[in-house]
């Protein structure tokens, strides 16, 4: 038999075989990278980063919170935008940077951004630590929970925070990826975490969007268009206490929250974690289901009401808390969530903020209800201030910004409630938002007799109509309404109330310089020059402008601060575009140089003016010290009354009236008057405190410096007295009492 010729199989060299296998394995990866690159070139999908460089040229040195970051967590439902706070790309040495994390309570719902507790807190901290630049960046989005917050944490840590504040836990069951949420991809924590990581990829977004589109086709299309986000976000409403879903939600909260705190601890970033507040007294359980082991939530609520009627308030409180915990629709965090927050704070060495205790101490019989909350969990205006108080006290107590607050600039919590940037309009907007919310699930069964609050409500006044329009129409924002009111007050020459509306706009839009300038203009017209100067300077932090430089320069000229006046007018001259503006600035510069006896520069300015307008004559008014004659309109009655009492030698009465005025306006004039009263009564330490508090306002006033020299000497502070004496000699060499003060300083008493 002949043997068949069987082809001999040649062995492929091992290196080539390995290379071939590697290419086959790597080809999908290469294809994925190429597709990712192409999708990024064409800007496909959503930008999932939490922070981005600010898109406006004016703010090119800043980063901001990405307004579209919510798209990563909400595919079926609309998402709210964050507050778009900004922070410097290059962190200054004197900067203390704080990031705030949470959901709808943290973003200030049902109010606008001016009433976010973070903005109230920022103002308090900036006043308490004037040597620091306090950056406060609020990252909150409505209807998110700890899955989203944990996803945020590495990005926040990358921005060099000095502290992180967390108020979160109410949304754990129905917030995005919660066990009862309509925005879910399953109930496996590892799968959810993987999904969030992959969402940073454009290819994965394309796959998700394709699958989502197919799902919508077969399920009937869009998410419900009617109702609030609160009513749309729920997929599985009933979550019974201690059920499998309840325990899973608690377990995921503990793991996510713990992972957040662990990341911060590894990066040595202090974290302040707050327990949660809910309305237990005035919100009935949304749904009550009795089981073999537990009574229904309604039973506990009825027992609480009965106990309260019998004045058994501790028993009432216990039953109210049980009613909340056994409520099957879990829009309020149970007591177990707060227990987890407290224990995790201890485990990861975070600073615990006892907000609930503060709310309870400000509630009748320690039971929180409608007195501080708008509905089930969102604080009303007083509640937002309390939330800011809780974090402020914790931060100040920790000493992380500074060992001590500045005793001359720190103000009481009550002061901010009286003076902060919000008005009755904000309260009414919040009222209507909550009224509309309560026409929907879970406050009302939307499947029966649906009524649209926005179609049935009839406003009762112009202000009420304006506030209602904000929530009923997408065309009018709260900012629009505040501006309309401000213009209305200006036309009525009610400049103080116009300022209050502009001040609310400043707090809503703290990075828009136009509102600072408008607020400052109203302050000048209402007699508050110190605050007007502060607002002009804040506008200059955002944007250089001729107008702000010129008006601030005028205030410095009134203050007799000639160095600053010249500096501001010189900068205004550089910015002046019209000849008329240049002439206005040159006139003021000529006056300032004349007051300084700077003949060389005065002559130079006069020559410039003659070139523009030959033969012009400049009349220089007599130099005086008129700053104390500008009194804020809202405290003028107090100042007048105090002067009347002083004329009658009733110094105690005048002191009482002046102290009362400080609750309304921390006026330099009132503080100076108090210092003068205390000095006359030989209460030298109290006099020194009040007078030092207003040093920046009157340090160019000879009479003020005269008094400071005497008070310092009487307090044994000769070094400070010597400094003030030299300062007085420099600004007013011909001051009549200068020689006698020098004698007194050397030890010769002055009568």
Q: Which tens digits make up the pLDDT trace of 535-583? A: 999 999 999 999 999 999 999 999 999 999 999 999 999 999 999 999 9
Identify the pLDDT of residue 78: 86
pLDDT at 10 over 70: no
Least confident of 290-294, 423-427, 504-508, 509-513: 290-294
Query: 721 and 713 in contact (C-beta within 8 Å)?
Result: yes
- Whether 340 maps to a domain, the answer reads yes
- Whether 262 maps to a domain, the answer reads yes
Please tell me the total number of residues recorded for the chain in this structure: 751
Least confident of 265-274, 302-311, 448-457: 448-457
In this structure, the answer to whether residues 239 and 199 fall within a common structural domain is: yes
In this structure, the answer to whether residues 171 and 90 fall within a common structural domain is: yes
In this structure, the answer to whether residues 316 and 247 fall within a common structural domain is: no
| CATH label of the domain that carries residue 638 | 1.25.40.10
- Whether 490 maps to a domain, the answer reads no
In this structure, the answer to whether residues 174 and 95 fall within a common structural domain is: yes
Task: Quick: pLDDT tens for 464-475.
Answer: 999 999 999 999
Q: What value does the mean pLDDT take over residues 10-32?
A: 61
- Whether 536 maps to a domain, the answer reads no
Answer with the one of 326, 347, 382 that is the final residue of a domain. Answer: 326
Distance CA 20, CA 699 (A): 82
Q: Which residues pair with 351 in a beta bridge?
A: 272
Lookup result for tokens 């926005």: 454
Distances (CA, A) of 467 to 121, 289, 457, 591: 26, 39, 12, 48
Domain of 314?
288-326
In this structure, the answer to whether residues 322 and 340 fall within a common structural domain is: no
- Whether 101 maps to a domain, the answer reads yes
Answer with the one of 389, 419, 449 that is the final residue of a domain. Answer: 419
pLDDT at 29 over 60: no
Identify the pLDDT of residue 206: 65
Identify the pLDDT of residue 750: 44
Q: What are phi and psi of 400, to 5 degrees?
A: -75, -25
Q: Rounded mean pLDDT of the chain?
A: 91
In this structure, the answer to whether residues 70 and 116 fall within a common structural domain is: yes
Q: What value does the mean pLDDT take over residues 364-377?
A: 98
Task: Quick: pLDDT tens for 98-154.
Answer: 999 999 999 999 999 999 999 999 999 999 999 999 999 999 999 999 999 999 999
- The DSSP symbol for 598 reads -
Q: What are phi and psi of 63, to 5 degrees?
A: -115, 160
pLDDT at 19 over 80: no
In this structure, the answer to whether residues 205 and 295 fall within a common structural domain is: no
- Whether 163 maps to a domain, the answer reads yes
Query: 113 and 477 in contact (C-beta within 8 Å)?
Result: no
pLDDT at 716 over 80: yes
In this structure, the answer to whether residues 173 and 306 fall within a common structural domain is: no
**Beta strand extents in 476-605 (DSSP E only):** none
Task: Quick: pLDDT tens for 84-101.
Answer: 999 999 999 999 999 999
pLDDT at 706 over 60: yes
Reading across the β-sheet that carries 351-353, which strands appear in turn? Answer: 133-138, 95-102, 163-167, 271-274, 351-353
Q: Which residues pair with 64 in a beta bridge?
A: 52, 86
Answer with the one of 419, 435, 451 that is the final residue of a domain. Answer: 419
Task: Single out the residue of 302, 275, 531 nearest to residue 420, CA to CA.
Answer: 531
Task: Quick: pLDDT tens for 399-412.
Answer: 999 999 999 999 99
Percent of the chain with pLDDT over 90: 81
Identify the pLDDT of residue 274: 98
In this structure, the answer to whether residues 298 and 402 fall within a common structural domain is: no
Task: Quick: pLDDT tens for 501-523.
Answer: 999 999 999 999 999 999 999 99
In this structure, the answer to whether residues 313 and 402 fall within a common structural domain is: no
Task: Single out the residue of 186, 139, 343 nearest to residue 257, CA to CA.
Answer: 343
Task: Quick: pLDDT tens for 238-258.
Answer: 999 999 999 999 999 999 999
Q: Which residues pair with 375 in a beta bridge?
A: none
Residue 44 pLDDT grade (very low, low, confident, very high; cuts 50, 70, 90) = low
Q: Which residues are within 8 A (CB) of 687 and not within 5 positions of it... i.e. 6 or more apart?
A: 675, 676, 678, 679, 711
- Whether 22 maps to a domain, the answer reads no
Task: Quick: pLDDT tens for 319-334.
Answer: 999 999 999 999 999 9
Domain count, the chain: 3
- Whether 510 maps to a domain, the answer reads no
Look up residue 604 and give its two tokens: 């130079």
Identify the pLDDT of residue 221: 47
pLDDT at 3 over 90: no
In this structure, the answer to whether residues 235 and 267 fall within a common structural domain is: yes
Identify the pLDDT of residue 293: 84
Distance CA 646, CA 145 (A): 59
Distance CA 213, CA 222 (A): 10
In this structure, the answer to whether residues 362 and 243 fall within a common structural domain is: yes
């Amino acid at each position: 038999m002949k043997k068949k010729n069987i082809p001999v199989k040649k062995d492929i060299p091992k290196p080539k075989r390995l290379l071939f296998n590697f290419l086959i394995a790597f080809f999908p990866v290469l294809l994925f990278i190429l597709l990712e690159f192409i999708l990024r070139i064409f800007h496909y999908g959503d930008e999932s980063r939490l922070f981005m460089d600010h898109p406006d040229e004016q703010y090119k040195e800043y980063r901001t919170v990405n307004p579209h970051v919510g798209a990563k967590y909400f595919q079926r439902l609309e998402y709210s935008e964050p507050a778009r706070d900004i922070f410097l790309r290059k962190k200054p040495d004197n900067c203390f940077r704080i990031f705030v994390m949470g959901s709808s309570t943290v973003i200030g719902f049902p109010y606008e951004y001016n009433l976010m507790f973070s903005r109230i807190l920022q103002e308090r901290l900036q006043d308490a630590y004037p040597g620091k630049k306090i950056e406060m960046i609020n990252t909150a989005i409505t209807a998110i929970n700890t899955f989203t917050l944990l996803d945020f944490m590495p990005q926040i840590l990358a921005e060099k925070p000095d502290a992180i504040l967390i108020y979160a836990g109410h949304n754990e069951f129905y917030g995005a990826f919660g066990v009862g949420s309509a925005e879910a991809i399953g109930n496996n924590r590892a799968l959810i975490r993987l999904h969030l990581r992959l969402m940073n990829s454009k290819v994965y977004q394309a796959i998700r969007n394709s699958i989502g589109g197919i799902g919508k086709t077969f399920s009937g299309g869009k998410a419900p268009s009617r109702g609030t986000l609160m009513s749309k976000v729920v997929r599985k409403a009933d979550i019974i206490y201690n059920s499998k879903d309840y325990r899973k939600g608690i377990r995921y909260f503990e793991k996510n929250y713990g992972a957040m705190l662990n990341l911060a601890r590894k990066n040595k970033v202090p974290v302040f974690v707050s327990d949660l507040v809910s309305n237990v007294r005035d919100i009935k359980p949304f749904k009550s289901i009795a089981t073999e082991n537990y009574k229904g939530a309604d039973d506990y609520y009825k027992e609480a009401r009965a106990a309260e009627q019998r004045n058994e308030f501790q028993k009432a409180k216990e039953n109210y808390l049980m009613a909340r915990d056994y409520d099957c629709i879990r829009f309020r965090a149970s007591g177990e969530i707060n227990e987890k927050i407290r224990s995790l704070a201890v485990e990861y060495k975070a600073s615990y903020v006892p907000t609930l205790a503060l709310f309870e101490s400000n509630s009748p019989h320690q039971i929180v209800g409608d007195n501080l909350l708008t509905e089930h969990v969102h604080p009303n205006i007083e509640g937002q201030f309390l939330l800011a108080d809780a974090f402020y006290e914790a931060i100040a107590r920790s000493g992380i910004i500074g060992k001590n607050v500045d005793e001359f600039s720190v103000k009481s919590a009550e002061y901010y409630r009286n003076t902060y940037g919000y008005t009755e309009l904000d309260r009414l907007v919040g009222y209507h938002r909550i009224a509309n919310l309560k026409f929907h699930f879970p406050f009302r069964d939307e499947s029966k007799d649906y009524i649209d609050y926005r179609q049935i409500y009839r406003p009762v006044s112009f202000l009420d109509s304006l506030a209602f329009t904000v929530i009923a129409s997408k065309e009018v924002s709260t900012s629009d309404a505040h501006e309309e009111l401000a213009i209305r007050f200006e036309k009525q020459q009610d400049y103080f109330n116009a300022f209050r509306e502009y001040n609310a706009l400043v707090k809503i839009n703290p990075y828009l310089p136009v509102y600072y300038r408008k607020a400052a203009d109203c302050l000048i017209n209402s007699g508050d020059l110190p605050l007007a100067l502060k607002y002009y300077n804040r506008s200059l932090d955002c944007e250089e402008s001729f107008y702000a430089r010129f008006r601030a320069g005028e205030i410095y000229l009134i203050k007799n601060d000639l160095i600053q006046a010249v500096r501001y007018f010189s900068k205004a001259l550089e910015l002046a575009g019209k000849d008329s503006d240049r002439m206005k600035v040159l006139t003021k510069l000529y006056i300032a140089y004349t007051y300084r006896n700077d003949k060389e520069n005065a002559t130079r300015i006069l020559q410039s003016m003659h070139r523009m307008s030959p033969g012009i004559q400049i009349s220089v008014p007599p130099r005086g010290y008129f700053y104390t004659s500008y009194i804020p309109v809202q405290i003028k009655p107090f100042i007048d009354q105090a002067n009347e009492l002083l004329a009658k030698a009733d110094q105690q009465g005048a002191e009482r009236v002046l102290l009362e005025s400080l609750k309304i306006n921390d006026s330099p004039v009132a503080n100076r008057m108090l210092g003068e009263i205390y000095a006359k009564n030989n209460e030298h330490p109290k006099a020194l405190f009040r007078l030092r508090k207003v040093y920046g306002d009157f340090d160019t006033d000879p009479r003020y410096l005269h008094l400071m020299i005497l008070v310092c000497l009487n307090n044994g502070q000769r070094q400070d007295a010597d400094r003030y004496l030299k300062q007085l000699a420099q600004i007013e060499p011909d001051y009549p009492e200068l020689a006698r003060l020098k004698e007194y300083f050397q030890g010769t008493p002055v009568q």
